[in-house]
Structure 1
Amino acid sequence: MSEEQENLLSSSLEHRDDCIIDKDSDNGADTDSIEQNNSQQPKNYKFDMLFFSRLFSVLKILFKSNAIYPCWSTKKKARQNSLFWLYILFVTLAVLYEILVYFVGMIPSQFYTILTTKDKAKFGTFIIPCLLLVFVIAICKSLLNFMGGLFALKARELLTIHIQNQYLRSKAMYTLLTKYNKIDNPDQRITQDIEKFSETLRQIVTNLIIAPIMVVYYTYKCTMVTGISGPLFIYTYFVVGSYLSQKYIQPLVNAVFFKELQEGNFRYLHVRLRDFVESIAFCAGEDDERMRAQQSLDTLLAYQKTIVNKEFPLKVANESFSYLGSVLSYLIISIPLFMGVFDGKDASELSSIISANSFVAMYLIYLFSTILEQSSKVSDLAGYTARISELLETLNEINEKADEECRQSEKLSTSSGSNRNSIQTTAHTSNHSNAPTTAAITFRDVSLSTPHERRRRLKKLIVQHFNLTIHVGESVAIVGPNGSGKTSLLRALASLWPCDEGSIEISGASDVGKNIIYLPQTPYLIVGSLREQLIYPSSPTGNNGRCDSSRISSSTVKITDEEVLELLDKVHLRHLSGLIESYDTIYGEEWNSLLSPGERQRLAFARIFYWKPRFTVLDEATSAVDAETSEYFYNALKTLGTTIISVSHDPSIVNLHDTIVSLEGFGEYSIQSNTVNTPLVTV
């Protein structure tokens, strides 16, 4: 990769990183991981043992067995989760096709004999089976391509489901996107790179699925006619071609990888333009955005040009060897001919022998040429394999670490005393309306700092030795200047960030409905119906989603039309029912045009009124609605009996809370009662 390309890529990545720094400037990660990731220079991705190791790991997913069924089991469940039988059928069709190819290849030699002897009767009886054979091989070839399409489709399905399940495990996506900068554009790797990998694998498998076996067979047939000299010529031809292909493949692997990386960056830039179109228009920022888009496009085109340039010598070598094969086949057959092996044969017999044996030599050369021609596809496959495997390896690392933390948390929850980096829960089976008076969230001697700050690799202390107990029915406001860590404290509560010291304990957790619901400043509206919006997420858990594989699907959560209308009334959105076709009509981007920012926040509050959680956490959740509506929502939540934990800059909202936690920076904080307005704790 040239210095200019490295600079362009670095600039593009820096701009992309700038775009995802959050409002509190404490979006962070594990320090060790980030330092390692930030210090990485662009890698060289090679066609080497690491590639084969990664390819083998991906293939294990495609041909996986489980504890119940091996991959070769004929049970429906096993066949749904493995490519094995599809591959076997693929191989069978390929063998049948090669047999038909051999018989079709022998047709010209028979015609030479018939035509040179002018045998009309034999010609008439031979032409019909020849036509049938050609028709059958055409069907077989079409079936082979059809099976190849199914192979690619199934490979994409299995890989996507496997990676998607890992990616969307509890907190895994958040951890990947905030801590592992080396994994660029995971969305592209899942949606595009897997598809390209599957299609490239199909093309390679279609051409090479039984090539090694056929090479052995045609080597034997060629040796029977020409002796060892014929195969020796062909194998020398293949070795030279392989060397040249290997030499030209190596630079392509790296170029393909970084080209796909920049494809993702270019797509991401245009997605942001669409998402922030109004802000850009208000600021008249089109010229600046055009310059950034042009810079990103220039980087992408530079990589594409590199691939085109480096493919040229590879194509020259491959095409030269392909056409050279036709000449080489006649050179090989000339050896026994000029040595007198076929002396005594008449013209018709000699024509038949030359035709048959030249086909054998040409087909052996064709097999080797086909293998060489796959070199450019193999370079693409290596690039896609690197990108998919990097994502897989990182997700496995994240999920293994999360599983270990869950096991440790379960052990710690049975012990008493202070715990490091832990959030404990104590479950009860009753709903919050019948909750025991001991139900509470307890911050016990918590010290919290940002896992990192981008570019500076420094931790910023949020709170130190923080102690607070929030009982059911109470309301707590968290205030402080921008960047003081208000949202960071909520991240620790949600177990998105670990505590440096101490523990956060959630007692009286309910197994019915939602235990805690978080509402951010910008509500997340799903691609779905209004009915689905109101019950999102429809997978209630009793421990805030941690260490719990059980989920309730949306089909098991029922909400009637009357309940939908009642919820809309509670959040002053009854008019919304007249703007949509039905409560079950699916909308995506349309939600942004149907609802103003304030209406989206109101719709998010409807989820609280539906789930009736024990604890409600609000992060500037009413910033886009008027003061009267904000006060109405807070009073409604108190009537509901839910405990309120709020982050807000609005004094009128802060005054609605019983307790005020003020974060003052550098680990200092104060806690005061809103009724007496005197400090209870100052650190």
Structure 2
Amino acid sequence: MSTQGGHAHTTSESTYSFDIVFLKRFLRLFCLMFPRWLSVTSLLSLFLLLLSLLEQVIIYNIGLIPSKYYVVLGDKDVDGFRSNTVTAVLLILAEAFMKSTILYVSSVLYVTWRSLLTVALHRHYFCDIIYYRLNVLDKAVDNPDQRITQDVDKLCNSFSLIIAPLIISPFTIGYYVKQAADGTGYLGPVSVGLFFILATVINKFLMSPVVRFVFQQDKKEGDFRFKHMQIRVNAESAAFYRSGVIEEKKTNQKLHCLIKVQHKLIRRQYALNFSIKAADYLGSILSYIAIAVPIFAESYDSLSAAERSALISKNAFVTIYLISCFTKLIDLSSQVTNMAGNAHRVGELFEVLGRLKDAQSEDYSFLDETTPSSDLMPLSDINLDSDRDFQDDSENTASQTNTALRLQDVTYGPPKSAQILCRNLNFQLESGINILVTGDSGCGKSSLFRVINGLWSSITGHVTKGSKAVFYLPQRPYFTDGTLREQIIYPLRTDESVQCDDKMYQYLDVVGLRCLVDRIGGLDAAVDWNWYDELSPGEMQRLAFVRLFYHQPPFAALDESTSQIGVDLEEQLYQLCSELNITVMSVGHRDSVRKFHDMELHLDGRGGWIMTPIKNDAINS
């Protein structure tokens, strides 16, 4: 899911231009696009270079056709006319074939680059819980989903369109400089070169602000798209409020912000386009000026009229094409600015993902490290069995197999916040001892699960995990795209799981979802719907329990996982957890869940906590 736009950037917007930052970012992307000398993209680029050079040979011969027509028509040479016409048709067909082949190879490069960059981003994005930190905790970049799905696509598409002209430009410019010098002297190529340098300097100043606004436009596009996605995902909730008017206003605000940036962009593109088009047409006039010098100097007076016309036509083509080679580079300015803006966005995302991967913990240096320990009695003093006291690590090796995790003096709070939710928490989750976490809303119950799971870093203390993993059922169950079987075995892949259809049917019967199999058409029936749209909150929680029973872990953390389920079914689910030897640590508000637990961990939301046993007589009363 997208993260809302408007997040702070790691780089100031003034750096989004053609500078050393852009070069570093693009070089990193370039290395990913060309991973080896003999990679597919390297070989395709070499093939594209050869095709482009061959095309230039064909273009050169096509350019000489008019001068040949001047000769055969001037001499009334019928055979020469026929031969020249056949040659012209074949060259034109060859040029059409070359252009389409070059476009095809460029398109293959585009999709291959997109695959390479996107896979590389996915490798960083889905590494451990980086995607969670980027979307929920860090928010250093706006709309990471848009950068991965759209900005990479735009970058690769733009680069595929400009790579061929950039590759062949040194070769074509060098060749036509020599040809122009032979026909007009060095006045022609020197004047063309100076003209190109001047146009390039002007365009450099005009391109930098365009890059910055391309970056901003992509950001606003992501914000606008996210708003529409937010309405789509939460359409029913919004409809209950009849919130069409207010949401229309908020969505239009996103649109107006986007349009405002687009107006700024097109104003700056106007100046750039004016410079580009002026260079194109002034260049064509410059070609005639260069040709006029030897003509007025009577250098061609010794030739016949037909020969002089043919020579003038040839020199005109050479000079004009030399200017065209330069102006093509100038014409690429618009595409280069789009590519640069997207390269900044993709490169910045790589930088943030790398930083998050390297980060070991949150920075809580603003808190006082000498926070006094809680005076409350730790779990080791009040556990159900006095033999379960904390022991030294050297003496506790055998019990590690029965312990999922141990918290020692853990203090935690929301990331990047000075708020303390719980201070100096001590307890361990042992096999057979079910723990109920209670407290008012916002006191830190779900936050405790985040700390235990590693989603949040603790401010002080340590969370030591045993050899047995804890299976988590969050408040809002997560369902991926795919079949019903894929939902049940998640997070395993189909090829990693054991075919246990009877067990799946049994657990679906227990939670009352056997009808879901008939509704879909089977465990492996392909579905293209959104599971969140098709299942009610209660059905989602029940299906999450089917997933839990299928995996049958030794320990499970249930974050209000029965809040949308009736009391009778809730009792069956907890009873089955006991039969499957699943030790649970639950967050719950309803009294009905107390009887399934042995210990109560109560959080007061102000840093205090207390662990007390849940007595059997209280359970039975």
- What's the TM-score, normalizing by structure 2? 0.90
In the alignment, what sits opposite 1:354?
312
Deviations 1:282-340 (A, max 9, x none): 11111110110010000011111111111112111211221222222111111111112
Any idea what the Cα deviations from partners look like across 1:518-575, whole Å, max 9, x if unmatched?
111211111100010000000xxxxxxxxxxxxxx43232324333322311322111
Once the two structures are TM-superposed, the CA of residue 89 in structure 1 deviates from its matched residue by 0.9
The residue number in structure 2 matching 1:579 is 519
Q: CA 1:111 to 1:56, structure 2 compared with 1: closer, same or farther past 3 Å?
A: same
Q: Which amino acid aligns with 1:45?
A: Y
Report the equivalent of 1:630: 570
What is the deviation of 1:666?
Answer: 2.5
Alignment partner, residue 369 of structure 1: 327
**CA separation in 2, counterparts of 1:481 and 1:198?**
51
Give the alignment partner of residue 502 of structure 1, picking from 461, 469, 476.
461
State the partner residue of 1:465: 424
Give the match's secondary structure for 1:162: helix
Q: Does 1:226 pair with 2:165?
A: no
Structure 1: how far apart are the matches of 2:23 and 2:533? 49
The aligned residue for residue 413 of structure 2 is 449
Give 1:613-624 correspondences, 5 Å limit.
613-624=553-564
Tell me if the contact between 2:9 and 2:141 (Cα under 8 Å) persists in the aligned partners: no
| Contact 2:435 2:585 survives alignment (8 Å) | yes
Are residues 43 and 244 of structure 1, via their aligned partners in 2, closer, same or farther at CA, if it must alter by over 3 Å?
closer
Equivalent position of 1:548 in the other structure: none
Residues 1:54 and 2:19 aligned together: no
Secondary structure at 1:579 match in 2: helix
Q: Answer with 473-482 or 589-598: which moved more.
A: 589-598
CA distance in 2, matches of 1:448, 1:628: 35
Partner of 1:545: none
User: 2:195 maps to which residue?
Assistant: 237
Q: Contact 2:140–2:352 (CA<8 Å) still a contact in 1?
A: no
Q: CA deviation at 1:585?
A: 2.5
How far off is 1:435 after superposition? 9.5
Structure 1 residue aligned with 2:498: 558
> Are 2:438 and 2:601, in contact at CA under 8 Å, matched by a contact in 1?
yes
Give how far 1:342 is off: 1.4
The amino acid of 1:442's aligned partner reads R
1:186 offset after TM fit, Å? 0.4
Render the CA deviation track for 1:427-456: whole Å, top value 9, x for unaligned: xxxxxxx9976434211222222222xxxx
Give 2:615's aligned residue.
675
1:501 Cα offset (Å)? 2.1
Aligned amino acid, residue 188 of structure 1 = Q
Q: Secondary structure at the match of 1:470?
A: strand
Counterpart among 421, 426, 443 of residue 484 in structure 1: 443
Counterpart Cα distance in 2 of 1:209 and 1:311: 25
CA contact (8 A) 1:259 1:303 kept: yes
Change (3 A) 1:235 1:44: same
1:87 and 1:403 map into 2 onto residues whose CA distance is: 43
Amino acid at match of 1:350: R
Contact 1:145 1:206 in 2 (8 A): no
Summarize the alignment of residues 334-353 of structure 1 with structure 2, pairs less than 5 Å apart: 334-353=292-311
Q: Which residue of 2 aligns with 1:28?
A: none
Distance 2:124 2:157 in 1: 23
Q: CA separation in 2, counterparts of 1:480 and 1:582?
A: 42
Cα shift at 1:597: 0.9
Alignment match, 2:380: none
Letter in 2 for 1:479: T
Partner of 2:598: 658
User: 1:155 Cα shift?
Assistant: 0.8
Q: Any idea what SS the aligned residue of 1:59 has?
A: helix
Q: Percent identity?
A: 31
Deviation at 1:368, TM superposition (A): 0.9
Contact 2:504 2:546 in 1 (8 A): no
Do the aligned residues in 2 keep the contact of 1:435 with 1:508 (CA within 8 Å)?
no
Q: What residue in structure 2 maps to residue 412 of structure 1? A: none
Secondary structure in structure 2 of the residue aligned to 1:152? helix
After superposition, the CA RMSD in angstroms is 2.4
1:191 equivalenced with 2:149 (yes/no): yes
Conserved? CA contact 1:531–1:559, under 8 Å: no
Contact 1:200-1:380 within 8 A present in 2 as well: yes
Mapping 1:63-462, distance limit 5 Å: 63-64=34-35, 71-73=36-38, 78-79=39-40, 83-401=41-359, 438-452=402-416, 458-462=417-421
Shift of 1:341: 1.6
Partner Cα distance (1:377, 1:57) in 2: 20
1:530 partner amino acid: L
Matched residue, 2:587: 647
Q: Secondary structure at the match of 1:47?
A: coil
Q: Distance in 1 between matches of 2:337 and 2:435?
A: 58
**Aligned partners of 1:61 and 1:158 also within 8 Å:** yes
SS, match of residue 254 in structure 2: helix
Separation in 2, partners of 1:565, 1:123: 83
Give, in angstroms, the shift of residue 85 of structure 1.
0.8
Cα shift readout 1:199-251 (whole Å, capped 9, x = no counterpart): 11011113322112211111111112222211121112212211221122111
3-state SS in 1 of match to 2:421: strand
Q: 1:255 to 1:285 in 2, by over 3 A?
A: same
TM-score (normalizing by structure 1): 0.82
Tell me the distance in 2 between the aligned counterparts of 1:594 and 1:461: 39
Contact 2:520 2:527 in 1 (8 A): no
The amino acid of 1:243's aligned partner reads V
SS in 1 for 2:466: strand
Question: In 2, Cα distance between the equivalents of 1:581 and 1:358?
Answer: 73
